[in-house]
Amino acid sequence: MTTGAVGEIVGAGRHEDNLRTAVRLGVIDRYDTDSTRAVDGADVVVIAVPLGAIAAVLRTIAPHLARQCVLTDVGSAKSSVIADVERIYGTIPPNFVPGHPIAGTEKSGVEASFATLFQRRRVILTPLAETAITAYRLIRRMWELTGAEVVDMGVRHHDAVLAATSHLPHVLAYTLVNTLARLDDRAEVFRYAAGGFRDFTRIASSDPLMWHDICVANREQLLEMITLFSADLVQLAEAIRSDDRAAILATFQRAKRARDNLYLD
Tell me the pTM. Answer: 0.90
Measured distance CA(159)–CA(142) in Å, rounded? 23
Q: Report the share of the chain in percent with pLDDT over 70.
A: 98
- Give the number of other CB atoms < 10 A from CB of residue 177: 19
Q: Is residue 1 part of a domain?
A: no
What pLDDT was estimated at residue 226?
98
Assess whether pLDDT exceeds 70 at residue 265. Answer: no
Residues 17, 140 share a domain: yes
**Which range marks the domain in which residue 177 is found?**
158-260
pLDDT of residue 262: 83
Residue 203: how many CA atoms within 13 Å on its side-chain side? 17
CATH of the domain at 173: 1.10.3660.10
Tens-digit pLDDT profile for residues 106-161: 888 888 888 899 999 999 999 999 999 999 999 999 999 999 999 999 999 999 99
Residue 35 is inside which H or E element, if any?
A: helix 35-38
CB atoms within 10 A of CB 79: 18
The answer to whether the beta carbons of residues 10 and 29 sit under 8 Å apart is yes
Contact indicator for 99, 71 with CB cutoff of 8 Å? no
Average pLDDT, the chain: 94
- Closest Cα to residue 47, out of 76, 27, 16, 23? 76
> Residue 5: pLDDT band by 50, 70, 90 thresholds?
confident
Q: For residues 91 and 165, state if they share a domain.
A: no
Q: What is the pLDDT of residue 2?
A: 61
User: Within a 13 Å sphere around the CA of 37, how many CA atoms are in the beta-carbon half?
Assistant: 6
Last residue of a domain, one of 153, 170, 192: 153
Predicted confidence (pLDDT) per residue in 28-83, tens digit: 999 999 999 999 999 999 999 999 999 999 999 999 999 999 999 999 999 999 99
In the chain, the number of structural domains is 2
User: Which amino acid type is present at position 59?
Assistant: R
pLDDT of residue 213 exceeding 90, the answer is yes
Q: List, for residues 173-201, the tens digit of each pLDDT value.
A: 999 999 999 988 888 888 887 888 989 99
pLDDT at position 12 over 90: yes
**Cα–Cα separations (whole angstroms), residue 186 to 17, 171, 178, 193:** 36, 20, 10, 10
Percentage helix, strand, coil for the chain under 3-state DSSP, each rounded to 5: 55, 10, 35
